[in-house]
């Protein structure tokens, strides 16, 4: 199914002798096409919490569906299922559709992240801005946008992230998106996303106005390194630039601000992230979850 799904050698040998797991995945896929509620029930069988259920569904799509480049086609959930793949937005929508069958409270999330410099991406973004408006300034020379979902745990009331493109849920999301060491991801293309710097969730009207930046890229980032990042000379600059970019990033999501006009701030934020990397490496810090 997915070109991203790798199996260790022993697993490959076992799969040759016992083909049932592959057959089981095909059966689940057929079920997803025909009966979403039953698919969700079977994939999450044995899950004891909302987090466990989110992990089961998110990982299933990350492992069995392919990430595909954005082509700006509008597809229904059924069409995405039949295609067995999609971009980050499409993978988030099919995962959300399945989790909705379980009654989990959810909301879509959009982020903007630092990327390696690309003039080709800037030209593409400028073309989309000229064609369709400044909402397309969410990607450009040093940045790109990404979509995932937040799920509310019905026991605690807390919101946690679930990224179907990468196959990461909960605390693993922070390490996979912000750490300076090796990162886990089922999406090979995710390496291009250096670090998120603006995160907004949907409000009740479907507008991306719920600011979720600080819990992830300030508080969560520092917590990942045991609260030691704030001792870095670069930390104050990181927090200040993230805060300064929040309003224009949120405005870009709502089609109100041209984020290309803040390219200098994004450049400085990328440089600050590298300064934080240098501090972490010099201090020998490891992610708290490692």
pLDDT exceeds cutoff 70 at 290:
no
CA 267 to chain centre: 22
Residues contacting residue 197 through CB under 8 Å, at least 6 positions apart: 112, 113, 114, 143, 213, 217, 241, 242, 245, 249, 266, 269
What pLDDT band is residue 67 in, cutting at 50, 70 and 90?
confident
User: pLDDT tens digit string along 227-275?
Assistant: 999 999 999 999 999 999 999 999 999 999 999 999 999 999 999 999 9
**Residue 227 class from Cβ within 10 Å (0-12 exposed, 13-18 middle, 19+ buried)?**
exposed
SS3 104: coil
Give the pLDDT of residue 69: 81
Q: Where are the alpha helices (DSSP H) in 35-141?
A: 36-43, 50-64, 77-83, 88-100, 119-132
Give phi and psi for 254, each to the nearest 5.
-95, 5
CA atoms within 13 A on the CB side of 290: 14
Give the pLDDT of residue 24: 66
Region 9-17: mean pLDDT is 34
pTM higher than 0.95? no
Count Cβ atoms below 10 Å from residue 106 Cβ, excluding itself. 21
Q: What average pLDDT is seen over the chain?
A: 90
User: pLDDT tens digit string along 211-220?
Assistant: 999 999 999 9
List the structure tokens of 251. Answer: 């405005």
Give the pLDDT of residue 190: 83
| Host H or E run for residue 200 | strand 193-202
What pLDDT band is residue 189 in, cutting at 50, 70 and 90?
confident
Give the pLDDT of residue 187: 82
């Amino acid at each position: 199914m997915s070109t991203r799904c790798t199996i260790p050698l022993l697993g490959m040998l076992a799969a040759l002798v016992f083909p049932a797991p592959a057959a089981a995945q095909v059966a689940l896929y057929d079920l997803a096409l025909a009966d979403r509620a039953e698919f969700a029930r079977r994939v999450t069988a044995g899950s004891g919490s909302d987090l466990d259920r989110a992990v089961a569904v998110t990982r299933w799509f990350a492992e069995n569906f392919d990430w595909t480049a954005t082509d700006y086609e509008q597809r229904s959930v059924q069409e995405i299922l039949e295609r067995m793949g999609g971009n980050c937005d499409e993978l988030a929508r099919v995962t959300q559709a399945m989790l909705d069958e379980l009654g989990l409270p959810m909301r879509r999330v959009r982020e903007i992240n630092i990327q390696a410099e690309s003039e080709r991406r800037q030209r593409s973004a400028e073309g989309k801005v000229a064609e369709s408006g400044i909402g397309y300034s969410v990607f450009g020379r040093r940045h790109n946008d990404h979509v995932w979902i937040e799920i509310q745990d019905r026991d605690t009331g807390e919101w946690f992230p679930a990224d179907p493109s990468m196959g990461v849920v909960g605390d693993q999301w922070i390490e996979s998106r912000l750490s300076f060491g090796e990162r886990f991801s089922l999406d090979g293309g995710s390496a291009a996303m250096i670090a998120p710097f603006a995160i907004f969730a949907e409000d009740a009207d479907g507008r991306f106005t719920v600011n979720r930046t600080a819990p992830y890229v300030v508080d969560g980032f520092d917590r990942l390194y045991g609260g030691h990042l704030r001792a870095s000379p670069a930390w104050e600059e990181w927090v200040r630039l993230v805060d300064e970019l929040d309003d224009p990033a949120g405005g870009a999501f709502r089609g109100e601000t041209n984020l290309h006009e803040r390219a200098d701030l994004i450049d400085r934020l990328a440089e600050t992230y590298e300064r934080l990397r240098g501090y972490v490496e010099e201090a020998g810090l490891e992610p708290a979850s490692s």
